[in-house]
Amino acid sequence: MNPIKRRKHILDEVNKFGEVTVVKLSETLNVTSETIRRDLSLLETEGQITKIHGGAVKKQVVQEDAFSARIDAHREEKMAIAKFAAGMVSERDTLFIDSCTTNLILAGHLPLVAFSVITNSALIADKIKENNLQARVYVLGGEYDYHFRANLGVSVCQQINAIHADICFIGAGGISPQHGVLVKSFDEAYVAKAMITMSKKSVILADHTKFGQDGVMCIATMKEIDNIITDKGFKTTGYSQQDFAGKVRMAE
């Protein structure tokens, strides 16, 4: 495929799904990751897309709100993951929930029973209380980060380190057997690592596009987590459940 047709294909994918990844495009178009990154840089220069770590999203969506762009990307898959994960929660559980977009969807599907939630996202707290007045919800205080719509920083981690939870639900920017679970922000990583450390059970929520993706920091190895909840698109990633020690569970 010549460069013009290749870039047209990329634009078509961005317009259709809202987000594309370098890894997926490289596999689909049978070219190197470097070639795809050059294509994305050119398309961004032309004002047709906005590059993000590991891929790109629609230009007009990002200008309105980058957080909304992440919410809308692969929304159907995130919905399936959230519903599956919600079934893991029991009455009187204490939960850590970090500020990833899949967890915001999860917040609207948690069971209508009494449980406690500790989160660094006011959006997640509001969504839980909107649906379930029985739930006790605590928001961790810290420096507010608009990009993540969450409180981050040292004070957040210090608060987490004083709490013991039954389950934590954590998002991921990338997952691989070799590098474990990765995220794309150091501040986000420190919060996630603290939640995993202080939980009896650690559950990672990640749609299939996150498999094989890079990140800036590992928050957990495969040995340090209990489950990875993903969607049925996992079957197209080239990985098997055995690659992740049988910890992958697919939501239908």
DSSP string, 136-179: EEEEPPSEEETTTTEEESHHHHHHHTT--EEEEEEE-SEEETTT
d(CA 142, CA 223): 30
Q: What is the pTM (predicted TM-score) of this model? A: 0.75
Same domain (yes/no): 120, 53: no
Instruction: Tell whether the model's pLDDT for residue 86 goes beyond 80.
Output: yes
Same domain (yes/no): 138, 94: yes
Q: Which residue range(s) make up the domain with 206? A: 67-250
d(CA 143, CA 145): 6
Same domain (yes/no): 9, 32: yes
Domain boundary among the residues 58, 87, 104 is at 58
Mean pLDDT of 86-112: 97
Instruction: Tell whether the model's pLDDT for residue 82 goes beyond 90.
Output: yes
Residues 6+ apart with CB under 8 A from 237: 208, 211, 212
pLDDT value at position 236?
A: 92
Same domain (yes/no): 20, 42: yes
Same domain (yes/no): 28, 120: no
pLDDT value at position 59?
A: 67
pLDDT value at position 66?
A: 63
Same domain (yes/no): 49, 84: no
Q: What is the CATH classification number for the domain harbouring 19?
A: 1.10.10.10
Range 205-224 burial, b when 16+ CB lie within 10 A, else e: bbbbbbbbbebebbbbebee
Same domain (yes/no): 193, 244: yes
Mean pLDDT of 92-97: 98
Same domain (yes/no): 103, 167: yes
Q: How confident is the model at residue 148 (pLDDT cuts 50, 70, 90)?
A: confident
Domain boundary among the residues 58, 75, 101 is at 58
Instruction: Tell whether the model's pLDDT for residue 146 goes beyond 90.
Output: no
Same domain (yes/no): 169, 234: yes
Q: Are 43 and 49 in contact (CB under 8 A)?
A: yes
d(CA 71, CA 18): 10
Q: How confident is the model at residue 214 (pLDDT cuts 50, 70, 90)?
A: confident
Range with lowest mean pLDDT among 86-100, 106-120, 137-151: 137-151
Same domain (yes/no): 185, 122: yes
Q: What is the CATH classification number for the domain harbouring 241?
A: 3.40.50.1360
Domain boundary among the residues 34, 58, 82 is at 58
Q: Please state the domain count of the chain.
A: 2
Same domain (yes/no): 106, 179: yes
Same domain (yes/no): 114, 156: yes
Q: How confident is the model at residue 49 (pLDDT cuts 50, 70, 90)?
A: confident
Tokens for 182, please give them.
């990765």
pLDDT, tens digit, for every residue of 233-247?
999 999 999 999 999
